[in-house]
Structure 1
Amino acid sequence: MSNDELSSVFAALADPTRRAILHRLTQGDANVAELAEPFAMSQPAVSKHLRVLEGAGLISRSKVATARYSHLEARPLKEATDYMERFRRFWNSSFDELDAALAAHTADEAERAGATDGEKNDD
């Protein structure tokens, strides 16, 4: 996936209405009226969202008689997830390093506290 395609996917996912539409499409194909139902917006407004999703490759559209159905295309979502996975691995590694440093610091503090207690007991 090119950077432009990835940018289009993330731009499409930035809108909560479009994310809700994609979530609905995980249940199966739907026409504009079905997709517009849960929203306080017109069918033409939902159609604009569908054009953005289609432009990003996240949905495909087909005609059945007079109805136009939208279908979820999961491949771009997988590619966006794979892209984000690299950052998750980076942060997990960073957190593991932080945990190790904190554990070493805590052990050092405990060792120093034990040495200080031992010196007090010698008095």
Structure 2
Amino acid sequence: MAETTVLVVDDDAGFRAYVRAALEGEEFAVVEGANAQEAVEVALRECPDAILLDWRMPGGSGIVACRNLRAEPTLGGVRIAMITGLDDERDRTLARHAGADAFLIKDPDPDALARQVRRLLAAPVTP
């Protein structure tokens, strides 16, 4: 069975390493990007099953990256989640309008993170 690939886009290399450790232990393949531009480049090259986008990154927000990813026809089936420390309804609404399928809060528990990613993959893709 092929591994499920998750693209993690965050300017914090430590957070990307944490996500990699949490997900690879659960048989996910993890690829990384450090900014909004890399989100699109890596997604087009790797064709991930899911993308976790940090909200705030230098050179472009996760919201901008989400819009750009949704504009790519070859990525139509990819599930996208904003993953952030922010948690208010306005942010959730902005993420939904940008095309995000989910809004995840950065969780220090690796098992909780893996569960959130499984739920994201099980959810329908935003039209």
Smaller-chain TM-score bracket: under 0.3
Greater C-alpha radius of gyration: 1
Which has more strand, going by share of residues? 2
